[in-house]
Structure 1
């Protein structure tokens, strides 16, 4: 079945057998909006190219999600700022093994066959509201640092060395942020810096 983002219209192909009866909550690769996914849902928005992967909740988000390679979007049983991309993480009922489903989403007018369908190009990130999207992406990327390194972060906060200890992770997240929102938006706003202070530094003005 197809599931789509109600905000930007990105469509993902999902095996309904992998979706729990109670449904799961997803974040979009393009915008990252949150939306509910259940086996009954269908979306009619014009689809865009997208990639989706399934992992069990026990495996969690992979540490390589931010940086080089495909972007990831978390789908979890609890709320938090998620990674940007195409990874789905649901309840344990999704299964222990990871499977991959790759789809090129297309759109067609009534009466057209699959052979006549035309692929739509992906929409630029944040085209609807660039400032809001940049702010949300900054918070999602910084939140990933906290999720992946909770103990090291706590120790660094106590020692007052969080800026030095997380230099590499911050640099990778910044590069991803600039790549997504553009150099001009990244440098003329303080969204990324604010996210570092609020989320990584626990409210202290360190960055």
Structure 2
């Protein structure tokens, strides 16, 4: 339904209950236009108009002064209805979308690197046990630290040193190096918010 049809239908209903012409006041017309934009159901507006008309008729029958029926008087009830109908934001679907959403956090250093990682995450995790993902995550972290004051890199290094343990017997140097990289990512995320926690999977 077009905005014009929406407004004209409301005007016709108001006219029938008020016994006056079809024209809405500028304020009422603007209000109706805003309801159309917010997708407030036309049926709900009509129902509120008729409800207000019934209440006005009862008040008049009891000898009270006749109330002016306008859309502005209906606004609070319809605003509450619009608020109830407003859908909750949808959670991003899929790992790529979730990481993309995380990469939009304000002030994120090396944002382009994190976005690139988000776009390739699912493919990288499906190959070689996910090693490619963590390699690019460490690379993105290094790029981010280069954009931050040197004190940030020192803080991340300090957090990593507090977690380092000697290489266990039987663990290859490559596996040990990877574990250190994962610890660096985790420590930096806790201390600096880099990477955003979603990237730690």
Shorter-chain TM-score range = under 0.3
User: Whose radius of gyration is greater, 1 or 2?
Assistant: 2
Relative to total residues, which structure has the larger strand share, 1 or 2? 1
Which structure has more relative contact order (CA 8 Å, sep 6+)? It is 1
Relative to total residues, which structure has the larger helix share, 1 or 2? 2
